[in-house]
Amino acid sequence: MRRLYALVVAAIASIAAPLAGEAGRAAARDELSIGFTQYPSTLHPMIDSMAAKSYVLAMLRRPMTSWDASWTLRCEVCVELPTIANGLARAVERPDGTRGVAISLEIRPGLAWSDGVPVTSADAAFAIEVGRHPASGVAAQEFHRRVERVEIHDDRRITLHVDRLSYQYNDLGDLHLLPAHLERPVFQADPGAYRQRTLFDAEPTRPGLHFGPYRLAEVVAGSHLVLLPNPGWPGDRPHFRRITIRAIENTAALEANLLSGAIDYIAGELGLSLDQALAFQKRHGARFDIAFKPGLVYEHVDLNLDNPLLRDRRVRQALLAAIDREALSRQLFEGRQPVAHSFVNPLDRVADPGVQRHGFDPARAQALLDEAGFRAGADGIRADATGRRLSLELGTTAGNRSREAVQQVLQNQWRRVGVEVRIRNEPPRVFFGETMRRRAFPAMAMYAWISSPEGGPRNQLHSAAIPSAANAFAGQNYPGFADAELDGLVDALEVELDFERRKALWARIQAIYARELPALPLYFRADAFILPKWLAGIEPTGNQHPSSLRVEHWRARP
């Protein structure tokens, strides 16, 4: 269990008595309408990394393990969390002399797909098979490739033989069971085309794709999803007989829908930004319970290092020195979203307080650009000796009012040092499902990483995680950052079991990140949860596992 440092959690419990007559209505509530800002690019649990997909699927299924609101790792599908101490995980010597690990798992009894077929060991083995295939293009391909062999003991017991003993050996959140009885024929027919043909997208309401508290009853792509209770769910019976999740990608429209009653609740992880929530609280705080949850959410600007203008480290450093992030946080977010100096949140125990800090220094930014060979032209925009203008494109998720406001600030501050920035935004399902996945952004892209406590950086920073056609666009190293020293540090980090030595490796990784700047750190986000006073049971986690993972505990107050 990791120690949680200085995490300030606002209570979700009611802060005022219900309005007159509301208590009686709440007792009768058995439907819930949720609004969020992104529609998933896919409903397949292993393809693409997108918060909207994770939020929806958490109600329909469970990963093998998850981090809860106290940042404790717990079993979801397994009966008992495997550890070295309890003997369910054991170090093994591999033929090449390195250490691997054998992880024994038992699937919870009673789990069944929504068509009544039991969840079995074959479903876990099939998920590993899909994840390991080079043409599948799953987001966490590295995790699956490390499983050298799946040993099936019976319908519910398996052993994973993994090629290394990592400090994260029992964090199995990337293991998402797939219904082998439905998906295997689709996958085996053409693994390379599987992501386009999977039943999760071709027939998303087909019974048998999920095994969680709810099942998917209706899908209107880009608009909404309807969930009904799964009668085969063996856990606590969910309270709501119907949940509708509506994608409203414009945050102003999202707020209007909440106030009009068209939706009951805005998903905290994918809802109003902090500045909007603070303003909302001042206007409507008497009608709603509002909680702010700081967490491992890193807002940043990825830089495409294939762009010749961004290959020079001095240009990247100048871009960061030119923006006043402290003022941005203070003016837009009342200072509640701390400036980021690396990708590791200070709430995480491996954050290095001594990491290099790039303060607001426009004079330094201009000197760095001069040094890089970019001089101001007649219109104030810099160009190099060949006449190539320092002109860049910045994209993000369209309709997010907070990000669009940040874009305007960045655009203005960069222009003051001679950098021209054009803004081009896309719907989230396009931005994440195509543009980012294929590294098709020409220069800069603003979005957030959501991580787990001490979550390893391989998938975002290791050169093997650069998406390309050769690896079916797996991995999330969207900048295309390749640094031999950092690759070696990540490799060493993963197999270092001693925390103090591991912390030193983390510090060096953060130092390289702060020096090289494959992305521009902005701030660490706090999510705003705006709830009707009749809704209880929602518990923000502050990590990559969303609050919807406990949807069966949500209910109307009596």
| Span 195-219, pLDDT tens digits | 999 999 999 999 999 999 999 999 9
| Span 451-490, pLDDT tens digits | 999 999 999 999 999 999 999 898 999 999 999 999 999 9
Phi and psi, residue 405, nearest 5°: -70, -40
pLDDT at res. 36:
95
| Span 66-86, pLDDT tens digits | 999 999 999 999 999 999 999
Percentage of the chain lying above the pLDDT 90 cut:
90
Name the pLDDT band for 137 (thresholds 50, 70, 90).
confident
pLDDT at res. 49:
85
Q: What CA–CA distance (Å, rounded) separates 464 from 461?
A: 9
pLDDT at res. 287:
94
Record the tokens describing residue 116, joined without a space.
């009544």
Considering only the C-alpha atoms of the chain, give the largest distance between any 2 of them, rounded to a whole number of Å.
75
| Span 16-67, pLDDT tens digits | 233 333 333 444 699 999 999 999 999 999 998 889 999 999 999 999 999 9
| Stretch 348-371: mean pLDDT | 97
Residues 6+ apart with CB under 8 A from 488: none
Residues 6+ apart with CB under 8 A from 339: 325, 326, 329, 521, 522, 523
Q: Which domains does the chain have, with CATH numbers?
A: 62-190 (3.90.76.10), 297-526 (3.10.105.10)
Phi and psi, residue 181, nearest 5°: -70, -20
Buried b (16+ CB within 10 A) or exposed e, 449-460: bbbbbbbbbbbb
pLDDT at res. 28:
62
pLDDT at res. 174:
96
Mean of per-residue pLDDT scores for the chain: 93
* Higher-confidence position of 328 and 17: 328
